[in-house]
Copies of this chain bind each other. A is one copy, B any other.
Amino acid sequence: MKTLLNEAQMAKSIIASLSDSLRNEVLNAMAEAFRANKNDILEANKLDLQNATSPKSTDKANTTQITPLSKPMLERLKLDSKKIDLMAVSLKEIASLKSPIGKITEGWENYNGLKIQKISVPLGVIAIIYESRPNVTSDTAGLCFKSGNICILKGGKEALHSNKAILKVLHNVLESFSLPKSAICFIDSREETESLLKEDKFIDLVIPRGGEGLINFVVKNSTIPVIKHDKGVCHLYLHKDAPKDMAFQIALNAKKDKPQVCNSIETLLVHKDFVATKDLIEVLKENEIKILACEKIANKFSALNLEVLKEEDFYNEYGDNILNIALVDSLRDAILHINKFGSHHSDSIITEDYSTAQTFLNEIDSACVYVNASTRFSDGGEFGFGAEVGISTSKIHARGPMGIDSLTTYKYQIYGNGQIRKS
């Protein structure tokens, strides 16, 4: 671990001082190298897939016990030719971003003539801990490299061979440019992760991306600042005047478009005077969404035979075609509900009432608050950031969809001509 951290430390100033055009050349070469080494990566991925379906203790390179993966997890782990092409496209897109480094975001002259400039600089060393999707390895390495940072990656144990093959490609390109391989570091055991999280002198930021267990583990054990990519318990609230068509379309989109992602809704709140609640429930059921209803709704529409939810269900991130529906008496009740049970990620209201919309926008304590739109837009790409660093559920440093700028900090460069301070 000490060797790795020292090497990362040495690489830091080299990588930070590269020109943006050289960075882009390297990223484009990495993209080409993925295409050229497709077979090696696919071979390695096959091994991971075999282990994930029938783990063998004879696999010497991977001594950690792997439990068989569920089908959606296998889907995330599996690479094919097209997915590797997409990894390459993604690196080229990252190369095409405007450099986040060296931006003067503020500048002024103080009372005695010091010229103070606030300028964006790389954070330094960023550790990213994530789960089984191997493309995160190349995306994250690319984003950190573009922003002048060293990354220390810890991928899921299920993807170990795939990650190592991807890493080999990236390292070969770094070497071909005479750049240190330790610009992109990789660790593969949980023990290493635990000790990594205490290295606050060497590492500037930890970003855990994954389930609640992983996030809590990192928050509890890290002395390094953490930006969480936590769960999304998002809401849609239909105010009493919500236009019916818009309400139906957005409710369906926000739940059904991609139920497994964090910006999908888990709970639909409906004002008691909204006119089409019964129709809406029927439409949702026709779309194979399982409904869990509050008691009021279950009683009001007893003919629909709805399953009744328990209060703790409001905290759930189903990640599936399941939706809580609850009746509220007022806008105020909707706001209290969302701020209490939500994960402060993304919440939306449907209304044509001006003051109601303003109150919702101001009082919902979430990263993204929408009027008359689907919560599914909470995403770096949809926001127009060009690349997806992730979605922060922290309030510090970066909140909500994170652009590449969130991988930078700033320093003050101060130009004087002999100023001394008179206390």
Q: Which residues does A use to contact B, with CB under 8 Å?
A: 13, 17, 108, 110-111, 114, 116, 123-124, 200, 204-205, 219-220, 223, 225-227, 246, 249-250, 252-254, 257-258, 339, 361-363, 365-374, 376-378, 382-384, 394-397, 399-401, 409-421, 423
Contact = CB atoms under 8 A, between A and B. Distances in A.
Max chain B C-beta neighbours (<10 A), residue from A200, A365, A372, A414:
A414
A420 B250 contact: yes
A329 B327 CA distance: 74
A298 to B, nearest CB: 28
Contacts of A418: 246, 249-250, 372-373
B362 A17 contact: yes
A361 B226 CA distance: 28
A372 B417 contact: yes
A231 B64 CA distance: 42
Interface centre among A108, A413, A423 (most CB of B within 10 A): A413
Given A111-B382, A361-B413, A373-B417, 12 more contacts: A114-B373, A123-B395, A123-B396, A225-B394, A250-B418, A368-B411, A370-B414, A373-B414, A374-B416, A377-B419, A377-B421, A396-B397
Contacts of A370: 414, 416
A46 B418 CA distance: 43
Among A123, A200, A383, A421, residue most surrounded by chain B Cβ atoms (within 10 Å): A421
27 contacts: A17-B363, A110-B383, A111-B384, A200-B219, A204-B396, A225-B225, A249-B420, A250-B420, A257-B423, A365-B411, A368-B411, A368-B414, A369-B412, A370-B414, A370-B416, A371-B416, A372-B415, A372-B417, A372-B419, A373-B414, A373-B415, A373-B417, A395-B409, A396-B409, A397-B397, A399-B409, A401-B412
A418 B246 CA distance: 6
A382 B415 CA distance: 14
A128 B373 CA distance: 39
Nearest to A368: B412
A419 B254 CA distance: 11
Contacts of A376: 420-421
A423 B225 CA distance: 33
A99 B412 CA distance: 23
B411 A369 contact: yes
Contact of A223 (B108, B220, B246, B367): B220
Nearest to A339: B13
A414 B116 CA distance: 34
Given A17-B363, A108-B384, A114 B377 contact: yes
A114 B348 CA distance: 13
Contacts of A414: 368-371, 373, 377
A227 B400 CA distance: 20
Contacts of A123: 395-396
